[in-house]
Structure formats: C-alpha cells, structure tokens
Structure 1
Amino acid sequence: MIVSPGVETLQKLVAHQIHNLFFLSATESAALDRVLPAVLQKTEVCFRGSSNKYYTKDGQTFFSVYHSGQYCIFLYFLAREVFLDRSASRDLADKVYYLNKALNSLDLYYEVEMPPVFHLDHPLGAVLGRAVYGMNFTFSQQCTVGNNKGVYPCIGDNVQMLSGSKILGHCHIGDNVVLAANAYVKDTDIPPDSIVFGSSPDLTIKARKAE
C-alpha cells in the first residue's frame, strides 16, 4: 500500500496529535509504533475493498494521511489494535478513539468490531453502537446504529445506510439492503435485497433490483 506522504510522517502525526490533546508518554508512543504494522495491514485490506477512486493510485491501494475519510478508518483500526494488544494501556486506546471523535465527529468505539471491509462517506455525526456488522457495511453522515432495551441489531452483508438513517434494537437486516435517507428502523426485520423508506412501524419496503 502506498502511504502518502509516508509511514514516518504518519507515525509522527498521530503521536503529535495525541500528545497535543491528551499527552503521550514514552511507553504509549512505543505501543503506537509496535501496533502500527498490523494497523496498516488491516487498513490496506479495508481500502482494497473500496471502489472509491481515491483509494487506489497507479494500480495500488492508496492511503493519503490527509484524506479525512481514510484517516478516520485508520484511527478506528489503530484504537482497536491498541485495545487488543494486552501490553498496551486502555488509556491509549481511549485517546485514539477520542482523537477520531474530535477530528471526524464519528463515535465508533474500539470495542465495536467492524468487518474487515467497511466504507464511509462524510461520517460526521454518525454513532455506531455494538451491533453485528456484515462485510461491506457502508454509512454516511448522521447515521445511528444503537440498542433498544439493551438489544442491538444484526446487520447483514452489503448494507448501505444513507444520510440520517437509523437502525435500533432487535433488528435483523438482510444482505444487500439500502436504508434510504432518514429511514428509521426499530425492532423490525428487513428482508434481503430491499430498499427501506420511512419510519417504524410504518416502513415502506421495496424490492431492490439486482445489479
């Protein structure tokens, strides 16, 4: 994967941003360096699955440190990798999560397990809770995935959430489903290959044409 302007710059940038906002100890800095190769590998797998023209360059997977959407995904993988590294401090994972929230207005906690390949477009104001997420999950601005009475949704593969859409509670969202802008699904199962409009319990569900 091409990292622009370079891995060394990326290392310095992350450390600098965390230190300026929260302070960064020498031990935490070493932990960031230790997990970075695994994070970049996961980032590459995720970006390789994208059809977005900005994610490839000269036939190779491309990561621009100054592309906010790409950096947002990278920071999620970084926070999660720190969390999974038992020798790293929980405080460091919190700092990276908080940094992502501060920079991108995305609330995506490191304990939430995203699929290896997921996509986002203008994620401002989105909140993604502890649901089960399928491959190629896609979301936009002001999307919400959350619980109702402690129960979270189960989301299939190739599900797209357009701006302002919400999935809450005891829901099973089938594969290849599109939630239209501002759709609100609560405690409702959605069949595969559907487009969803409106709000629960008065949803309009239409068959989605095969692409």
Structure 2
Amino acid sequence: MEIVNLEAGRLAAYCCEQIRRLIPFGDETEFGLVEKHLPEALQRLDHCVSNVAIWKAGRFDILHSSQYCIFLYYLSNTIWKQEKATAICTKLFLLNKQLNAIDVFYEIEMPEIFFIGHSVGIVLAKATYGNHLVLYQNSTVGKNNGVAPVIEDGVILYPNTAVIGGSRVRERSIIAQGVSVINRDTEPKRIVYQGAENTLVFRESRRDILSDFFRSV
C-alpha cells in the first residue's frame, strides 16, 4: 500500500510520537506492538480503502482524516485481537478520539469495508455491524438496557441519526438525517424517515445510493 505524506518506514514512530504528545504517560513498554502489527493493520486498511469508490485504491494519505481515523481503529483492533494489550490499545483509542472526535472502542468489531464521511461526533457501541457501512457526523449506535442493535449489510447513517437498543437495521436501509431508530426494525432497501409521534416512515429509493460510496455492491 502506498503511503502519502510520510515515509512508510516512519509510520509506527509517527503514531507513537502522537501518543507521547497527546497522551503523555510515561509507560512505553507496549509501543513495540505498533510496529509489530502495523503490516496487518495496513492490509486491513488497504482492503477497505480500495473498496471505497471515491478513494484511490491502494493509497493511504495520513493527512486524510477519515482514512487516518479508520487506520487508527484497525491498528488498535488488530493489536487487541492479537495481544490483548490494554494499555497501547487504549492510547490508540484515545488518540483517535482526540484527533477525530470519534468514539470507536478497540474491542468493537467493525466491518471489513466501511466509509466515514465526517468522523466528528460519531459514537459506536459494541453492536453488530454489517459490511459496506456508511457513517456521517453525529451518528450514534447505542445500547438500551444492555441490548445492542444489529446493523445489516449496506446501511447508511446520515448526520444526526441514532440506532438504539433492540433495533435491527435491515439490509441497505438508509437512515435519513435526524432520524432515531429506537427498539425497532427497519424495512430492507428503504429510506427511513421520522414520522409523527416518533413513528418511522419507509420509502423506496429511486436509485442505488450505496453505489455512490462503494465499488461492486
């Protein structure tokens, strides 16, 4: 994978230096895990970026905030799955939160392919996330009484949306801006609007909006 705006061999050191400056704790004993698991994290990122229609395949720009946001998640999640190293994973999570204003914990299983339009204000609980997920600013996925939603493949969450509790967002559902889905199911392949008295209204899309975001969906 081509890395833009930084020499590839400096990426691990760059991440660690960001942690030093923004989360200045003295313990650096797990910093070596960043370099150790960087190849796998970049492989996961490459697969994701190469499937996003508006991004150039095989190219990672560290100054592209959405790409860097996804990279930090993959790096923290990879280290967590391979090492269960809480300290460095927490620092990478906090770094992502400080740089990109996103709350995506390293234990969460995000899909292989997803797109972040703008990361500011996104909060993601430990829910089930399907592939080809689209997230925009201030979108929230949260639990209710310990119950987490299920989000199927090809879901779009536009700005200021919320999916809470025992909800199932069906395949290729599009949650329109400002809509809250709380303990409810959506209809597949429909745009979801807010109706009267917190009801949901489902309408058919006139075109395949998901193809604007991803290749081969």
Return the TM-score normalized by structure 1: 0.92
- Cα distance between partner residues in 2 of 1:151 and 1:166: 14
CA contact (8 A) 1:3 1:63 kept: yes
- Cα distance between partner residues in 1 of 2:91 and 2:10: 19
Match of 2:63 in 1: 66
CA contact (8 A) 1:18 1:24 kept: no
Instruction: Please point out which of 41, 48, 51 is paired with 2:50.
Output: 48
CA contact (8 A) 2:31 2:88 kept: no
Is it true that 1:115 corresponds to 2:115 in the alignment?
no
Is it true that 1:160 corresponds to 2:156 in the alignment?
yes
Query: How far has the Cα of 1:26 moved from its partner?
Result: 5.0
Match of 1:202 in 2: 199
Q: What number of residue pairs does the alignment pair up?
A: 205
Match of 2:212 in 1: none
Match of 1:144 in 2: 140
Residues 8-23 of structure 1 mapped to structure 2, 5 A cutoff:
8-20=9-21, 21-23=23-25
Which secondary structure state, in structure 2, belongs to the residue aligned with residue 205 of structure 1? strand
Structure 1, residues 41-64: CA drift from partner, whole Å, max 9, x if none?
001011111011xx21xxx42100
- Cα distance between partner residues in 2 of 1:23 and 1:11: 18
Match of 1:36 in 2: 38
Is it true that 1:85 corresponds to 2:86 in the alignment?
no
Match of 2:3 in 1: 3
- Cα distance between partner residues in 2 of 1:32 and 1:24: 17
CA contact (8 A) 1:166 1:185 kept: yes
2:29 alignment partner AA: T
2:58 alignment partner AA: T
2:125 alignment partner AA: G
Match of 2:214 in 1: none
Structure 1, residues 83-132: CA drift from partner, whole Å, max 9, x if none?
1122x631110000000001000000011100100110111011011110
Return the TM-score normalized by structure 2: 0.90
Identity %: 30
1:208 alignment partner AA: S
Is it true that 1:97 corresponds to 2:129 in the alignment?
no
Gaps of 5+ in 2: 209-217
Q: Which shows bigger deviation, 186-195 or 10-19?
A: 10-19
1:35 alignment partner AA: H
Instruction: Please point out which of 178, 188, 194 is paired with 2:184.
Output: 188
CA contact (8 A) 2:170 2:189 kept: yes
RMSD value over aligned CA atoms?
A: 1.5
Residues 33 and 205 from structure 1, CA distance in 2 versus in 1: closer, same or farther, beyond 3 angstroms? Answer: same
2:17 alignment partner AA: H
- Cα distance between partner residues in 2 of 1:122 and 1:75: 15
2:35 alignment partner AA: D
- Runs of 4+ in structure 1 displaced over 4 angstroms? none
Instruction: Please point out which of 101, 106, 121 is paired with 1:125.
Output: 121
Query: How far has the Cα of 1:29 moved from its partner?
Result: 2.1
Which secondary structure state, in structure 2, belongs to the residue aligned with residue 28 of structure 1? coil
Query: How far has the Cα of 1:34 moved from its partner?
Result: 0.4
CA contact (8 A) 2:154 2:173 kept: yes
